[in-house]
Homo-oligomer: A and B are copies of this chain.
Amino acid sequence: MSKTPAYLINGEFERGMTPLDRGLNYGDGVFRTFRVVEGLPVDWPLHYQKLVADCSAIGIVCPSAEVLMEDIQRLFTMHDTAVSKIIVTRGEGERGYAPPAVTSPNRIVFKSAMPNYPDRYHTEGVALYLCQTALSHQPLLAGIKHLNRLENVLARSEWRDPSYADGLMLDLKGYVIECISANLFARYGQELWTPSLDQCGVAGVTRQKVINLASSIGLTVRDKNLFMNELLNADEVVMVNSLIGAWQVRSVTSKCWPRGLLANELREVLSQ
């Protein structure tokens, strides 16, 4: 597959989109990223459900599942194992913040190659960079995967050392929230804690799957405010998202964890 992503804009192989799109002007839209295996999107019902919920939270009418699936089938062959990203924006607008009374959302479906994650991220786990960029509190937008992602961009700009697989982000109160591109779980015995995302952060589909599946591997999940010192006292810490599945976090700042079993167990139940 070519390294440059391919894309469809509103179902067409267009070269470009209008700069009047409100996604560009205001970040007025939402997105999803997920794996496509042999032409089929993985966990599509969950991703579509989350896309609809995120659109609805900011008052955008989400394109139908059929329309999006048609785009995916035009863009990916049955031999493609790759990454898809879907952006849905409120559509074109005139100057000014007021959403037009009648809007026609724009959708872009992208295809790009699976990132080349080192095998050892799966087998041995990863090191996280502790980001200085703190997430602000905005309960109206918390949990939503919207296009206002400058905080993530600033956080990801803090380091270039490739030995860090991702960055750990706290909020302005010092609570642990997430990785820049993944959600977090911390295990304490048979309890699995995950940061509350009612003030900031993105509530990912894989996080929800882990919450739903935890009892099947004997764990009880708690969604709670989590301070850094609590995270550091966990028996194991695992990061999850739709591309990586689950990786163990082996170190952050001076803290190191021994190799654990949770990431493997989660990858197994997630892939079933």
Contact = CB atoms under 8 A, between A and B. Distances in A.
Interface of A: 5, 7, 9, 14-28, 31, 33, 58-59, 83, 85, 87, 89-90, 94-99, 108, 110, 112, 115, 133, 136-138, 140-141, 146-157, 172, 180-181
Chain copies in complex = 2
Nearest to A17: B16
A108 B33 contact: no
A28 B59 CA distance: 22
A21 B18 contact: no
A23 B24 CA distance: 6
Contact of A19 (B7, B27, B95, B96): B7
Contacts of A96: 115, 156, 181
A95 B108 contact: no
A94 B21 CA distance: 20
Nearest to A85: B95
Closest 6 CB pairs of A and B: A16-B16, A27-B27, A148-B148, A97-B156, A136-B138, A136-B136
